[in-house]
A and B are shown apart, each in its own frame.
Chain A
Amino acid sequence: QKEVEQNSGPLSVPEGAIASLNCTYSDRGSQSFFWYRQYSGKSPELIMFIYSNGDKEDGRFTAQLNKASQYVSLLIRDSQPSDSATYLCAVNPRGSSNTGKLIFGQGTTLQVKP
């Protein structure tokens, strides 16, 4: 089992719709959870981070964390073509608490069609 799993996609949604990106992780002691966006040929860009169970909203983005289910998601409301990118889920597992090392998922490719 991979430590951080994402569906590679592509996930295709129409412009204006809600895009839902999902991620599961294997280390139950994981403490910090991050979502990054990576455009083709570019480096990752931090979108959101969440530490506690529940929802965290920032503009059109909402991160949701459920530690009991070892599940973290990212919702993008009013999706725009400019949101088309690969979204990387990253987890700071328990064993890495003294290094800050992140475990990345493979990424989900999102396509927002006009």
Chain B
Amino acid sequence: GAVVSQHPSWVICKSGTSVKIECRSLDFQATTMFWYRQFPKQSLMLMATSNEGSKATYEQGVEKDKFLINHASLTLSTLTVTSAHPEDSSFYICSASAGLNQPQHFGDGTRLSIL
């Protein structure tokens, strides 16, 4: 149980393109979903927390107009990287939690490369 699906697995696109990443909880209802970014050999960096039907809460330093998060249902959240540039290239990972104090379950991640 507790499967989180994330798509796409990898994206290569040109600078200026907007990229949408989907995160779905397949076998449980996720009251909260989280979006992380990880650079090579570095720690997970939380970007934002989203609750179904509410605006996402962004961590300090994360541009909300750059990284658009939508959490339309209890099983789906999306992250859109708008007008992506090479410095946005990274490993983006979502996680989902069924409730307070419950574990976060991670998707497989999306490797984004902006040329």
In the complex, A70 has a CB within 8 A of chain B: no
Is B103 a contact of A97 with CB atoms below 8 Å?
no
Closest to A99 in B: B49
List A contacts of B2 (CB < 8 A). Answer: 46
Check A102–B104 contact: CB distance below 8 A.
yes
A100 pairs with B105, CB closer than 8 A: no
> How far is it, in angstroms, between the C-alpha of A36 and the C-alpha of B102 when the chains are bound?
14
Contact B43 A107 (CB under 8 A): yes
A98 engages B49 (CB within 8 Å): no
Contact A43 B93 (CB under 8 A): yes
- Chain A interface residue bracket vs B: 20 to 34
Taking CB as reference atom, which chain B residue is nearest A107? B43
User: B residues within 8 A CB of A45?
Assistant: 106
A106 engages B43 (CB within 8 Å): yes
The number of chain B residues with a CB under 8 A from chain A is: 24
In the complex, are the beta carbons of B106 and A43 less than 8 A apart? yes
Shortest Cβ distance from B96 into A: residue: A100
Q: Is the CB of B57 within 8 A of A99?
A: yes
A100 near B43 with CB under 8 A, answer no
Check if A100 sits within 8 Å of B93, measured CB to CB: no
Q: Using Cβ atoms and an 8 Å threshold, which residues of chain A touch B100?
A: 97-100
Contacts of B99 in A (CB 8 A): 100
Given the complex of chains A and B, what is the CA–CA distance between A48 and B108 in angstroms? 18
Q: Would you call A88 an interface residue if the criterion is a C-beta within 8 Å of the partner chain's C-beta atoms?
A: yes
- A51 near B101 with CB under 8 A, answer yes
* Interface contact B108-A42, CB-CB below 8 Å: yes
Of the candidates B43, B101, B103, B107, the one whose C-beta lies within 8 Å of that of A43 is B107
A31 at the binding interface (Cβ < 8 Å):
yes
Known: A88-B44, A106-B43. A101 touches B105 (CB 8 A): no
Q: A79: CB under 8 A from chain B? A: no
Binding site for A on B (CB under 8 A): 2, 6, 31-32, 34, 43-44, 46, 49, 57, 93, 95, 97, 99-109
